Copies of this chain bind each other. A is one copy, B any other.
Amino acid sequence: MLVNCVAYREGHKLADIPVSAISDHLSQPGCFVWVALRDSDQREMALMQEEFGLHDLAIEDALHGHQRPKIEEYGHTLYVVLHLVEFSPTDDLQVGEVNVFVGPNFVLSVRNRSTLGFLGVRERCEREPELLRQGSGFVLYALMDAVVDRYFPIVDALETELETIEGQIFHRGAGRSNIERLYELKHKVTALRHAVSPLVDGAGKLHGGRVPAVCAASGDYFRDISDHLARLQTSIDTIRDTIGTAIQVNLSMVTIEESEVTKRLAAWAGIFAVATFFVGVWGMNFEHMPELKWPWGYPLALGLIASTCGVMWWRFRRAGWL
């Protein structure tokens, strides 16, 4: 589905143009066309392929979807796949894609399975004609920057979730829910890592050293994206590492808790074993058990039992078992 199709010259918007007028503008010097599609079907992509002369393999990838993020050169055209990550209403991570084709005089972006649009990007670009004059490479930067900037709040949300779990990790009895939440968090982090990691390498090839021609004018800007990606990567690695430690620590806490329960069990079992032994003694049927005839025998017996158990209780208490 066509979102919009605009021609630019010298950084300024010329006009919204129909798809049929694309080829006219492509041939004009200093002019480039920026087309945005959404959830495109095969017919639409075939049309675009013809207009911009795109490579079969790139079109196939874009139609098939579920690519990993990547930056590939086909002749003078760059083919960029980025993951769009957002929280679904049920708080899961939902991963869509945007495919961007960038040639010297065109940008084609195809967004799939995502509610996140790029209208804001286009508006911002049009407000800064002196930057947009850098050409289609700057549009690629603006799109990548928008996508990468949207990863930060997600990393923040995952860090917050991790901190919440950490706040409960030393609480008694929270072992089961902690481990479930850590496992789920690990899945989310993995999804985000798949969006970020492959880009770190890819974006590194858009500045410094040999750079695709369309990106040459915007080197500092692509380095800025690389830097953001490196920051994300660090945060993600830290979360992953911390999850690993947290799972270990949680297991330790569960074991410690069990050990505490075992101690309490042992202490109470000991106290009652002694008491039961005493009452058993005076339940024996020997004929000559003088204390059974004492008038104060019964209360004395109860008192003896109570005080013995009391002493045991006090000693277990002092040892930290109770």
A residues 239-282 near B (Cβ < 8 Å) are 241-242, 244-259, 261-266, 268-270, 272-277, 279-282
Copy total for this chain: 5
In-complex Cβ contact of A269 among B179, B182, B269 (8 A): B269
In-complex Cβ contact of A265 among B234, B255, B265 (8 A): B265
Bound Cα distance A263, B238 (Å): 35
In-complex Cβ contact of A272 among B244, B264, B274 (8 A): B274
In-complex Cβ contact of A280 among B72, B244, B283 (8 A): B283
| B residues in contact with A301, CB < 8 Å | 284, 286
A183-B245, A252-B250 are known contacts. Are A281 and B279 too (CB-CB below 8 A)? Answer: yes
Q: Count contacts on A: residues with CB < 8 A to the other chain.
A: 86
A161 within 8 A of B: no
| B residues in contact with A173, CB < 8 Å | 320
- Which of A35-43, A89-97, A132-140, A218-226 makes up part of the contact surface? A218-226
| B residues in contact with A294, CB < 8 Å | 288
Bound Cα distance A61, B256 (Å): 46
A245-B247, A276-B280, A286-B292 are known contacts. Are A259 and B264 too (CB-CB below 8 A)? Answer: no
A43 CB to closest chain B CB, in angstroms? Answer: 21
